[in-house]
Amino acid sequence: MTKSQVSKTKQISSAFQAALPSPTPPRGEGKVGTTRNRGEGRLGHWVLVFGNYLGFGIWNLGFIFLLLFFLIGVGCQRSKAGITVAGSTSVESFAELLAEEYISRHPESQIYVQGGGSTAGIEAVMSRTANIGMCSRPLMGKEKNLYAVTIAKDAIAIILHPKNPIQDLSLDQIREVFSGKIRNWKELGGPDHPIFLVTREEGSGTREAFQKFVMGKEDIGLEALVQDSNGAVRQVVASNHNTIGYISLGLVNDQVKALKISGVEPNMTNIDNGRYTLVRPFLFVFNEEPVGEAKSFLEFVLSPLAQKLLLKEGLVPVLPKLAQK
């Protein structure tokens, strides 16, 4: 790895110098070659110049071969029977856990779990590159024609740094904070410090749910820091006293503090009795009613055992009996 990287830099440098008139051309160049040879040299020159134009001086034989080997390798792996689950990064970590459990019971099966986002997951299912799509928002438009199963529900927690003295905000206050109307913790009864917002990127299921539940028609302030996963949001909030963000309740740990909303603590009881309202479905999406491996995985996910696992991870199970416990 090290060696190839280094030699790449060297290649760029030599390719570049070849494309430029070298400061000291070797003496006698051009005198020896025949006309035809010089023509070919010029073609080579143009090839290099063109390559450099687009910043792709590194394309070369070895690289292509490497790519080929890699593709062949991937192809061989995938030919082993198995199903692919792709989509929302919010569901991904839970799906990985479920897949591990499932494989430990069915050692002959393979389940590949990939992230990418709710929309990407649905597109992957539609184009049949994935068997199951994970989605962390309600289906929209033509997506509704797909076969979707709610595997669990997830609450969204508004998170702060644990040292932030604020414990409780109303939905209206949270909206004003995220739309940039309230810019200092002082206005909420906290220390005199500017508020740094942390949000998810456009198109994220968590962001869409937050937008729907909290923001309504207001926009999230453009000055908000944008992170591309629940974990990254948590990391930023955990490392800065003045931030506020939102993530899946299941991913809240002791690095951050989940805010009460108008006095309602985000916990199983309050989610179940409907007092905590920031709750969204986690869906498994299929093209049609699943069969074979996909069906047996879905059945496993909906079984009491798997649902109990999800409950332990902080999600709200779809089996009503479990949720009450």
Partner 1 sequence: MNLKEKIIEKIFLLIALSSITILALITFFIFEEGIPLILKVGPKAFLLGEKWIPSKGLFGIFPMIVSSFWVTFGALLLGIPLGLACTIFLSELIPPSIGILLRPAIQLLAAIPSVIYGFWGLIVLVPLIQNYLGGPGLSILAGSLVLSFMILPTIITISEDSLKALPPSYKAGALALGATHWQTIWRVLIPAAKSGIVASIILGMGRAIGETMAMIMILGNAVKMPNSLLDSARTLTTNIGIEMGYASGDHRQALFATGIVLFFIIMALNTLAIFLSRRRVH
82 is an interface residue for partner 1 by CB under 8 A: no
**Residue number, 205 or 281, with CB nearest to partner 1:** 205
Q: Which of 146, 166, 225, 264 binds partner 1 (CB under 8 A)?
A: 225
What is the token pair recorded at 68?
Answer: 């080929």
Please give the single-letter amino acid code of residue 111.
Answer: I
**Residue number, 92 or 293, with CB nearest to partner 1:** 92
**Of 93-101, 145-153, 216-224, 286-294, which segment contacts partner 1 by CB under 8 A?**
216-224
Q: How far is the CB of 4 from partner 1 (least distance, A)?
A: 9
**Would you give the binding string for partner 1 spanning residues 34-53, x where CB under 8 A is met?**
------x--xx--x-xxxxx
1 is an interface residue for partner 1 by CB under 8 A: yes
Could you say which residues in the range 237-276 bind partner 1, by CB under 8 A?
A: 239-240, 243
Q: How far, CA to CA in Å, does 142 sit from each of 130, 146, 281, 285?
A: 18, 8, 18, 13
Tokens 């309740």 correspond to: 249
Could you say which residues in the range 102-131 bind partner 1, by CB under 8 A?
A: 115-120, 123
Q: How far is the CB of 264 from partner 1 (least distance, A)?
A: 28
9 is an interface residue for partner 1 by CB under 8 A: yes
223 is an interface residue for partner 1 by CB under 8 A: yes
Could you say which residues in the range 176-215 bind partner 1, by CB under 8 A?
A: 196, 201-205, 211
CA dihedral 296→299→305→310, nearest 10 degrees, is: 110
Count CB-CB contacts under 10 A for residue 14: 12
**Residue number, 30 or 304, with CB nearest to partner 1:** 30
What is the token pair recorded at 283?
Answer: 């869906």
Judge contact between 125 and 179, C-beta under 8 A: no
Tokens 């416990």 correspond to: 325
Q: How far is the CB of 317 from partner 1 (least distance, A)?
A: 26
Q: Reduce the secondary structure of 48-71 to three states and give it as a string.
A: HHHHHHCCCCCCCHHHHHHHHHHH
β-pairing verdict for 243-248 and 147-160: antiparallel
The residues, any chain, with a CB within 8 Å of residue 257's CB and separated by 6 or more, are 159, 160, 161, 162, 164, 167
**Residue number, 47 or 72, with CB nearest to partner 1:** 47
Judge contact between 136 and 205, C-beta under 8 A: yes
Write out the residues near partner 1 by the rule CB under 8 A.
Answer: 1-2, 5-6, 8-10, 12-14, 16-17, 19-24, 40, 43-44, 47, 49-56, 59-61, 64, 89, 115-120, 123, 196, 201-205, 211, 219, 221-228, 232, 235-236, 239-240, 243
